[in-house]
Structure 1
Amino acid sequence: MNMKLKSLMIGAAMTSVAAIPMTSVAAQDYPPKTLSFVAPSGAGGGWDLTIRTVAKTLKDTGLVDANMPITNRPGGGGAVNLAYMQTQVGSDKLISVYSPPILLTNLTGASKYSYQDTTPLARLITDYGAFVVSKDSKYTTINQVMEALKEDPKSVKIGGTSAAGSMDHIQFLLIAKAAGVPNLNQIDYISFQDGGAVAQVLGGHVDLISTGLGDVAQLVESGNLHALAQTADKRVGDGKVAEIPTVKEQGIDATFENWRGLFAPKDMPEYAVTYWNKTLKAMVETPEWAEARKRNGWDAAYQTGEEFNDFLAQTNEEYKEILAEIFKK
């Protein structure tokens, strides 16, 4: 073959290959055979329940054929996993669930990272706070707890699965503040990020757990735990969960929303973002997801990635004001 012609053919072939956008090739093969779904907490908590429910729904509905193993990466109220996500910038495989702590850990100085160091994919649901005690507890109403704290802020030990200064802690302090409890910074809060909070209250090591309603719904249904109150502006769920009074019903003028959504590492490729926007929108419209929401007492709160990002920016400012008020000297 003429060397000049051969050179031209090779050059043309290289130009042709180079002209194929890599995103198109990657998009065609997406998702990969295995994805990495992460709960930034121990097993059994709200993040764990949410990400497992998402994976099961995606698989059961046939929306995603890939393997979706769940990894638990607890620590720092989600800060440990958030730091890990910074090592995965640009990845199209890792998806993690988060809720208010992705903002709170940054605002309280526990983490230098926040939602801006991720790719928000979708807001999925709103859970609510719940305050539960053992079935043999001397406390039968949330007001009894608040009255005890007014007399002595050390008289009631509060447990939760988030870090001190993060969601479970903050939601309890918000309700206590609304109830007129002084010296909020003197209240004992113990963090059980390994998911052992329920065992601690059942064993009498703490008096009350501040947690997500969905986290303890089944234990309330079974009668192992007694719920004193929940933080929605209305009653939610079914069965015994629907019987849990709101704090507002008990004269405490406050609510707290525990929204949850999915996040990928920062700079997730556009083809992957597009895929998840489409897939998650389809998922939240399935009867399987509706049943999961009903079972766990979750309200629908779907937002696309762009809408979710705007919501996070607004909510971050609101949390700044809340923290400044709670911890002001």
Structure 2
Amino acid sequence: MKRLLTSGAALLAVAAVALTGCSAEGAASGESYPDRPISFSVGSEPGSGWDGTARALVEVMEREDAVPVQVNVQNRPGSVGCVLLNDMINKHADASNEIAMTSVPLQSMELRGMCDVNYKDVTVIARLLIENFLVAVPADSKYKDLDSLLEAIVKDPKSVPVAADGDDQLPLALLVEAAGGDPSSINFIAFESGGEYLTALMNGDVLASVSGVTEYGPQIEAGELRGLAVLSEDRLEEPLADIPTAVELGYDVTLNNWRGVYGPPNMPEEAVAYWESKLQELLQSDSWKEIADRNQWGTAYLAGDELDAFLEDSYTQLTSALQSVGALK
């Protein structure tokens, strides 16, 4: 009787697959996913690095006709990604049609005491790229080089308001420490997005800013901003090749930001496998390479066990860095 029931169930399953126009093999391999629109959430305002990366990915998806459903970018700002992170955990657990853009704050905001959850509470799908941090000032700034900016901050921190929030603060904190100053005394002014950073710089509300190359590269190229230093091992490529590295200038500080995609906790395995494969495919396309070159992004795909090891190592390094500048809670 047990064998008959089992055989009957198998026949019903095959019939159901046939009625939906799919093969049993296709269903098992997850070919039916995705079957509805995807919400691609960004925990910041339009104009931010997260927003720019998410929209670039969607542009590549459309150019390559790579995803069979619509992918909609949703801006859900608040607390440098913590509002979105909590929503993904509390409102979208188990969802297959929710993904989100993220970066270092997925780990560091919890270490700073600004978020109760972190990367271990969601499904991190893939690391996409590495982006370098950049220190910038208005083109007509009295600070002509990194030395003069750091000297002013060390001497009178309150007189030099600097636009940076969350992990964008860490590069300058390490530079000020290397220059003999107190990182905890820096007059940081927090903003939610790169667009607000830029407006504050151009209006004179702040005298300097720290952010990713993506957010300030076009303004530096246009002559509206001046890049004082990039915190990478090597100089950037043209048209930003004239910006020196901090190491060149005598400050042994290198730091970069990674960006990636995560999903909710308990995301179905077929959805995770789909996005791991699809994102790797997209990053190998000519469309992505064109956008990455334009933004000076270093494509650095990781998934699976390699990604897990990277996240663990990154978390350890962040803990040490934040502790060194007194920002660890």
Same fold (TM over 0.5): yes
1:48 and 2:44 correspond: no
The one-letter code sitting in structure 1 at the alignment partner of 2:83 is: V
Residue in 1 aligned with 2:268? 269
Distance in 1 between residues matched to 2:323 and 2:9, nearest whole Å: 62
Cα deviation for residue 19 of structure 1 reads 11
Residue in 2 aligned with 1:5? none
The one-letter code sitting in structure 2 at the alignment partner of 1:205 is: D
SS in 2 for 1:71: strand
Q: Which runs of 4+ in 1 moved over 6 A?
A: 18-23
SS in 1 for 2:114: coil
Kindly tell me: are residues 252 and 20 of structure 1, through their superposed partners in 2, closer, same or farther at Cα, counting changes over 3 Å? farther
Residue in 1 aligned with 2:83? 80
Cα deviation for residue 14 of structure 1 reads 9.2
Residue in 1 aligned with 2:209? 209
Aligned residues: 315
Gaps of 5+ in 2: 18-23
Q: Map of 1:82-231 to 2, 5 A cutoff?
A: 82-86=85-89, 87-160=91-164, 162=165, 166-181=166-181, 183-194=182-193, 195-231=195-231
RMSD between aligned residues? 2.4
Kindly tell me: are residues 305 and 238 of structure 1, through their superposed partners in 2, closer, same or farther at Cα, counting changes over 3 Å? farther
Distance in 1 between residues matched to 2:266 and 2:142, nearest whole Å: 51
The one-letter code sitting in structure 2 at the alignment partner of 1:186 is: S
Distance in 1 between residues matched to 2:29 and 2:46, nearest whole Å: 33
Distance in 1 between residues matched to 2:312 and 2:58, nearest whole Å: 27
Cα deviation for residue 26 of structure 1 reads 9.4
Residue in 2 aligned with 1:236? 236
SS in 1 for 2:47: coil
SS in 2 for 1:233: coil
SS in 1 for 2:157: coil
Residue in 1 aligned with 2:20? none
Cα deviation for residue 28 of structure 1 reads 3.1
Residue in 1 aligned with 2:21? none
Gaps of 5+ in 1: 1-7
Distance in 2 between residues matched to 1:19 and 1:158, nearest whole Å: 65
Alignment deviations for residues 265-305 of structure 1 (CA, whole Å, 9 cap, x no partner): 11111111111111111111111111111111111211123
Distance in 2 between residues matched to 1:34 and 1:328, nearest whole Å: 40
1:16 and 2:12 correspond: yes
Cα deviation for residue 20 of structure 1 reads 7.9
Whether the 8 Å contact between 1:153 and 1:184 is mirrored in structure 2 is: no
Alignment deviations for residues 27-50 of structure 1 (CA, whole Å, 9 cap, x no partner): 232113311111111111110111
Aligned-residue sequence identity (percent) comes to 31
Residue in 2 aligned with 1:292? 291
Residue in 1 aligned with 2:323? 324
The one-letter code sitting in structure 1 at the alignment partner of 2:323 is: A
Q: TM-score, normalised by structure 1?
A: 0.89
Cα deviation for residue 322 of structure 1 reads 1.1
Whether the 8 Å contact between 1:59 and 1:65 is mirrored in structure 2 is: no
Whether the 8 Å contact between 1:94 and 1:264 is mirrored in structure 2 is: yes
Distance in 1 between residues matched to 2:316 and 2:15, nearest whole Å: 44
Distance in 2 between residues matched to 1:232 and 1:287, nearest whole Å: 25
The one-letter code sitting in structure 2 at the alignment partner of 1:304 is: A
The one-letter code sitting in structure 2 at the alignment partner of 1:218 is: P
Kindly tell me: are residues 19 and 249 of structure 1, through their superposed partners in 2, closer, same or farther at Cα, counting changes over 3 Å? farther
Cα deviation for residue 247 of structure 1 reads 1.0
Whether the 8 Å contact between 1:293 and 1:299 is mirrored in structure 2 is: yes
Whether the 8 Å contact between 1:34 and 1:66 is mirrored in structure 2 is: yes
SS in 2 for 1:260: strand
The one-letter code sitting in structure 1 at the alignment partner of 2:107 is: L
SS in 1 for 2:30: helix
Whether the 8 Å contact between 1:219 and 1:225 is mirrored in structure 2 is: yes
Alignment deviations for residues 57-105 of structure 1 (CA, whole Å, 9 cap, x no partner): 1221122132111111111111111111112111111111111111110
